Amino acid sequence: MSLGTNISRLRAEKRLSQGDLADILNVSRQSVSKWETDGSVPDLDKLVKLSQVFDVTLDELVTGEAPMAPAAETAPAAAAPATVSGGLPGRKIAGIVLLCMAFLTVLVCTVAGGPLEGLILCTPFLLCGIICFLAKKRPGLWCAWVVYLAVELYLRWGTGITWQLTLRTLVFTPQENYTRLFIAWVHLIVMLVMFSVTLRSFRRARFPLNRRNLILLGGGWAALVGLDALKNWGYTQMLHQLSNFNYGLGFRLLLRIIDLTFLMGFAALLTITFCAVRSRKKRSPEAP
């Protein structure tokens, strides 16, 4: 088995694309392609790094054969009883803890006479617990988004504070309460951090810009812009034409849910667009 075949096989086992491997080794994708087709041979330092990336020895990388263990070491290993770890993954342990916290929140609030408040307060714990059980990848990121959106909903619904308040920083007056402006700035910074962390988490994801995906991506952005325009038009109509409109609890909650839907849609489309741009750059010609 040739060296190029071994590199291709080991790369596939690690589920890495040629572009991913090229990024790790700080070489061009064409160089990796030439190695795998035996058009060229990696330098010694690159061979060492390849063996570290694939977690194999240099002999196994070059020959494709795993080294034989000494007989003296294999005998005790064969005699040792096989042990199977019965421990739960860390994310599932975290999920159990979060579900217990959700139950305790409901229980304490019910005893205190506020079962509805308990159901509301336990929602972030419940959702994060479910995420820890179901999401095998990036459970921490999804839980962070749940907590952020819960705080976002409270700020918009309970206090009316949004990040847009920072746009009035230069004309803000003491009568408007500078604490509200400070909270708005913290809100904006946290939102930008969430976007940055999400983009970094998906930096190796691929979204090829074929015709179908391009139509879907453009349609998503158009739908998001349309939702924002419809929301703003609805606000304007209610404020100017329905001056006596009674904003009930359910209606205000609906407006806040629309705001959160817009925010989640924007974050998702921004991430997909970022992945699409990176995929296009990976496909561009590079010097070997």
CA distance 182 to 277: 35
Domain boundaries, the chain: 3-66, 89-136, 140-283
Residue at token pair 């494709």: 64
Segment 270-281 mean pLDDT: 81
Pick the more confident residue, 242 or 234: 234
Q: Which residue has the tokens 């095998």?
A: 136
Rounded to whole angstroms, the Cα distance separating 242 from 124 reads: 35
Q: What is the mean pLDDT of residues 118-135?
A: 87
Answer for the pair 181, 159: CB distance below 8 angstroms, yes or no.
no
Q: Hey, what amino acid is at 37?
A: T
Of 44-58, 140-154, 162-176, 177-191, the poorest mean pLDDT is in: 44-58
| 31 half-sphere exposure, CB direction, 13 A CA radius | 16
Q: Which of 190, 208, 210, 188 is nearest to 198 (CA)?
A: 190
Q: Which residues contact 282 (CB under 8 A, 6 or more apart)?
A: 19, 29, 206
What are the pLDDT digits (tens) for 53-104?
878 887 777 776 655 554 444 444 444 444 444 456 788 888 899 899 989 9
- What was the pLDDT predicted at 130? 92
Instruction: Give per-residue pLDDT as tens, 16-27.
Output: 888 778 778 878
Tell me if 285 sits within 8 A of 212, measured CB to CB. Answer: no
For residue 166, what are its two tokens? 């920072």
- Does pLDDT of 286 surpass 70? no
Average pLDDT across the chain, whole number: 78
* Pairwise CA distance, residues 110 & 119, whole Å: 9
Number of H helices, E strands in the chain: 12, 0
Please indicate whether residue 250 or residue 116 has the higher confidence score (pLDDT). Answer: 116
Q: What is the fold, at CATH topology level, of the domain defined by 3-66? A: 434 Repressor (Amino-terminal Domain) (1.10.260)
- Is the pLDDT at 136 greater than 50? The verdict is yes
Residue 283: pLDDT over 60: no
pTM for the whole structure? 0.59
Sign of the Cα torsion 89, 90, 96, 102 reads: negative
Tokens of 47: 């061979």
- The more confident residue out of 1 and 277 is 277
With vertex at residue 106, the alpha carbon angle to CA 101 and CA 109, rounded to the nearest 5 degrees, is: 120
